[in-house]
Structure 1
Amino acid sequence: MESVNTSQKSYTKLIWVLSIAIPVVVAILLFTPEKIQGAGDWVYMLPHLNATFNSITTVVLLLGLYFIKQKNIKAHKSMMSIAFILGSLFLVSYVTYHSTADSTVYGDINGNGILDEAEKSKSLTFWRGFYISILLPHIVLAAVVVPFVLFAFYYALTDKIEKHKKIVKWTFPIWLFVSITGVVVYFMISPYYLN
């Protein structure tokens, strides 16, 4: 029994370490002015790939909900496993992109990374405000959802179904919101990508 408790504590500790490390690493990559050089132009395809990951994740999450409502646990597990894999691939792709390429600024028509007065007047203030109003909760909730997702999977894999059910009441809507808003953010910023 003691080894089970030790194992559970180890997994819990690992989940919390990852839950803190992932947002910290992403924040460092976003705000570090120096990017890793020499990756090549292929990295500019990653935002498009990330939008694809988010789009498929949205569909898979909804299918996962559908299957659990139908009591089809096997199909539900498959969908949620696919969503987890897609989320992991998204994270790797996102980190790769932001460690090698400068972030795109909404409304930056000439792609110099600075939104000057002329560009501000050309980009509608309403749409920029709308973009930011979606981007900020997307970013915050993307960080917040990490421990929820990890614990939800841990509880499912260890057959702690009651704990799994309790945590997914919060995890599912946050994860779905993050995946949907990721696609919306992509479509709004994509006209300003240079490549």
Structure 2
Amino acid sequence: MNKLAQERKYKKIITTLSIIIPIAVAALFGVNLKDLGFNVEPLTFLPPIYASINGLTAVLLIAAVIAIKKGNKKLHEQLNTFAIICSLLFLLMYIGYHMTSNSTEFGGEGTIKYVYYFILITHIMLSIIIIPFVLLTYMRAKLGNFAAHKKIAKITFPMWLYVAVTGVVVYLMISPYYV
């Protein structure tokens, strides 16, 4: 199979995942296993872990850019692969937490409340938008289409970094209000 045919095949998979993942997360976010009669303990220990994973993702992304600027393609690929794994782990833990625990409301007042919601909303919106960008960027590199990879990576990197960093910021801002 030639690269163009492979890219078309992967684009269909990327499109499907980019639709299914946000829908599944939204659907599962509204499901609390206790409300369904399951005897589960709330996974209240997860937020600091998945916030740390977001922080690690940010560090990995910066290290990946440094690696490629130094010409180390192999390290660049490994760091980005690990960043994708971290993002997936974050997502699984986030869903696990919200399926076993009640959502925490932000308790701040005044201007900080607006700042928090601005960061939260932009974080959520970009976390949805970033899915096809990350997958497409990664796929182009794996298929050896480095010119297209580099072009889209210039868009993907700052968005993904923003999502990773604001994930930590959202956690830090809401952490005093966890029960």
TM-score, length of structure 2 as denominator length:
0.91
Q: How many residues align?
A: 175
Deviations 1:155-191 (A, max 9, x none): 1111111111111111000000000000000000001
State which structure, 1 or 2, has the greater radius of gyration over its C-alpha atoms. 1
Report SS of the residue matched to 1:83: helix
Deviation at 1:10, TM superposition (A): 2.7
Q: Relative to structure 2, which stretch is displaced further, 160-169 or 93-102?
A: 93-102
Deviation at 1:6, TM superposition (A): 5.0
State whether residues 55 and 164 of structure 2, in contact with CA within 8 Å, keep that contact through their aligned partners in structure 1: yes
Deviation at 1:4, TM superposition (A): 6.0
Distance 1:171 1:141 in 2: 10
**1:13-162 pair list within 5 angstroms:** 13-30=12-29, 32=30, 34-37=31-34, 38-41=39-42, 43-107=43-107, 123-162=108-147
RMSD: 1.5
Deviations 1:105-163 (A, max 9, x none): 101xxxxxxxxxxxxxxx32111111001111000000000000011111111111111
Distance 2:8 2:20 in 1: 18
Report SS of the residue matched to 1:44: coil
Give structure 2 stretches of 5+ with no counterpart.
Answer: none
Deviations 1:13-65 (A, max 9, x none): 111111011111122233x2x41133313x11111111010011111111011
State whether residues 116 and 173 of structure 2, in contact with CA within 8 Å, keep that contact through their aligned partners in structure 1: yes
Which one has more relative contact order, counting CA pairs under 8 Å at least 6 apart?
2
Q: Identify the residue that residue 174 of structure 2 maps to in structure 1.
A: 189
Q: In structure 2, what residue type is equivalent to 1:13?
A: K
Q: Identify the residue that residue 164 of structure 2 maps to in structure 1.
A: 179
Distance 2:68 2:17 in 1: 28
Distance 1:62 1:21 in 2: 28
Q: Quote the sequence identity (%).
A: 40
Give structure 1 stretches of 5+ with no counterpart.
Answer: 108-122
Distance 1:7 1:160 in 2: 11
Q: In structure 1, what residue type is equivalent to 2:12?
A: K
Q: Identify the residue that residue 118 of structure 1 maps to in structure 2.
A: none
Distance 2:142 2:161 in 1: 21
